[in-house]
Amino acid sequence: MESVLVLIALFVFLFAGIPVGIALTTTGIGLLLMKGVPLASVSMEFLGSVNNFILLAVPVFLLTSNILLKAGVAKDLFDAVQKWVGGVRGGVAIATIISCGIFAAISGSSVAVAAMIGTVAIPEMTSRGYDRRFVMGTLAAGATLGILIPPSIPLIIYSAVAEESTAEMFLAGVGPGLLLIAAFLLYCVIKSFMGAAPANEAGAAGQGGRMAASLRALPTIVIALTMIIGIYAGVFTPTESAAVGLVMTLIYVFGLRRGVSFKEFREAVFGAGLTTANLLLIIAGANVFGKAIMLYRIPYEMSEWIASNIESAGLFMITVTAVLLLLGLFLEGIAMILIVLPVLLPSLGVHGINPVWFGIYFVLMIEIALITPPVGMNLFVIQSVARSSLKEVMHGALPYVLIMLAAVLAIYFIPEIVTYIPSAAK
């Protein structure tokens, strides 16, 4: 009964519009006071939760993506990819997905990918006669790759909560990320031949200028490959990878490109700082809330209930999927990890579920949440960039939701998609 009341209290705060970090902190403090825990311990838990070397990568990735956004680097990459695939029907949609995948390897944020690629790809596709719903859905879904393909901010948060290796989590995201890119590309080709793309695109890119466009995009690709290969080869940790990526970005933008003014750089720093502060407030609040529910034994009660009422791992995953789909309608992805994961972790061992595999599954569910209303952040970013209606973006994103659910089924029945690369790297 206590578990139900605690969850009701939390969701009342959330639905009332109170920021997630404040709602978690307030609920946690209330629960601790009811147990007679002194308030002095709250400040220690609050500050101690963000004193984590792993979390240092978060602001660095955000700053890198913000600088690239201000520099307009997305256009160079998009133009280069388009030169190679733009001549086929639906080529610009294919270029959009590929560009999203490459930028995902730098930013770690889906919203950043949506903003960077959206500003370039949406005018390009609509001017050539692509179906607007198809355009919006492709951008919204393609941007979700930003949190699956390493580096990924949600995977960093998951690693910190579940106490798993961040490098191993990053490697586990490569297989599913490539699977999702392939599935998105297949859908783009089929949809294009069904009429969503013009048969003969006006101004379709041919072979001319491929080398020049590729050279302009090369620094971006080198940055992405350096970060990923460095982690895979064990040359540096994910946090060090973020720092290397930032240094390379600064050298490229200020030394070679000279495309960011001091005002734009300051805006990039402030934007990254604001987002980081918001994320750290959520993490700190979730830690206070987590300590409180541990005192009330809520995770153990939930685990015992699951163990006694849900016998098979399959039924457990179906139940968790239904819960996450529901929560994804109302909660931001990081909040989903921090609220739900501590409750579910004890149950993973009961059903023999690999925590690394579960982390990738969890992020896939967050990807779905990013393109489902009413809190799907990517929907609002694309709506803002395209100056379109939310209904139009939602309609275009729906097929991609089904594709992502199919990917969840694929990694459940073939877990090696997730586990093979981390195992091979050991």
Judge whether residue 344 has pLDDT over 90. Answer: no
CB count within 10 Å of CB 83 equals 22
Q: What is the pLDDT of residues 359-394, one digit of tens each?
A: 999 999 999 988 887 667 788 888 887 788 878 888
CB count within 10 Å of CB 225 equals 12
Q: Assign residue 396 a region: left if phi > 0, alpha if psi is -120 to 50, beta otherwise?
A: alpha
Q: Residue range 159-177: average pLDDT?
A: 90
Question: For residue 405, what pLDDT is reported?
Answer: 95
Judge whether residue 17 has pLDDT over 80. Answer: no
Q: Which of 38-47, 157-166, 295-304 has the lowest mean pLDDT?
A: 295-304
User: What is the percent of the chain where pLDDT is above 90?
Assistant: 22
Q: What is the pLDDT of residues 87-143, one digit of tens each?
A: 778 888 898 999 888 888 887 778 888 888 888 888 888 888 899 999 999 999 998
Q: What is the pLDDT of residues 142-153, one digit of tens each?
A: 989 888 888 888
CA angle 326, 179, 391 (to 5 degrees): 45
Question: For residue 159, what pLDDT is reported?
Answer: 92
CA angle 123, 127, 132 (to 5 degrees): 75
> Could you tell me the two tokens for 162?
């579940």
Question: For residue 410, what pLDDT is reported?
Answer: 96
Q: What is the mean pLDDT of the chain?
A: 84
- What is the band of 351 on the pLDDT scale with cuts at 50, 70, 90? confident
Judge whether residue 293 has pLDDT over 80. Answer: no
Nearest to 408 by CA among 151, 104, 183, 167: 183
Q: Would the pTM of this model clear 0.75, i.e. be above it?
A: yes
| Phi and psi, residue 158, nearest 5° | -60, -45
Q: Find tokens 């969890």 and name the residue.
A: 362
Task: Specify whether the CB–CB gap between 30 and 9 falls below 8 A.
Answer: yes
Judge whether residue 178 has pLDDT over 70. Answer: yes
> Could you tell me the two tokens for 64?
């890198």
- What is the band of 214 on the pLDDT scale with cuts at 50, 70, 90? confident
Q: Residue range 195-224: average pLDDT?
A: 76
Judge whether residue 3 has pLDDT over 70. Answer: no
Separation between Cα atoms, residue 4 and residue 7, nearest integer Å:
5
> Could you tell me the two tokens for 255?
């030394």
The one-letter amino acid at 424:
A
- Identify the burial level of 232 via C-beta atoms within 10 angstroms of its C-beta, where 0-12 means exposed, 13-18 middle and 19 or more buried: middle
Task: Specify whether the CB–CB gap between 144 and 108 falls below 8 A.
Answer: no
Question: For residue 424, what pLDDT is reported?
Answer: 83
Q: What is the pLDDT of residues 26-81, one digit of tens each?
A: 888 888 888 887 877 777 777 777 777 777 888 888 898 888 888 888 888 888 88
Q: Find tokens 């993973």 and name the residue.
A: 348
CB count within 10 Å of CB 331 equals 21
Q: What is the pLDDT of residues 384-424, one digit of tens each?
A: 877 888 788 889 999 999 999 999 999 999 999 999 988 88
Q: Which secondary structure element, helix H or strand E, spans residue 227, and what is its range?
A: helix 210-232
The one-letter amino acid at 340:
V
Burial 122-138 (b: 16+ CB within 10 A, else e): bebbbebebbbbbbbbb
Q: Find tokens 């699951």 and name the residue.
A: 306
- What is the band of 250 on the pLDDT scale with cuts at 50, 70, 90? very high
Q: Find tokens 């931001």 and name the residue.
A: 332
Q: Which of 12-26, 81-95, 132-146, 193-207 has the lowest mean pLDDT?
A: 193-207
Q: Which of 38-52, 185-199, 309-323 has the lowest mean pLDDT?
A: 38-52
Q: Which of 224-233, 246-255, 294-303, 350-359 has the lowest mean pLDDT?
A: 294-303
Separation between Cα atoms, residue 406 and residue 82, nearest integer Å:
28
- What is the band of 299 on the pLDDT scale with cuts at 50, 70, 90? low
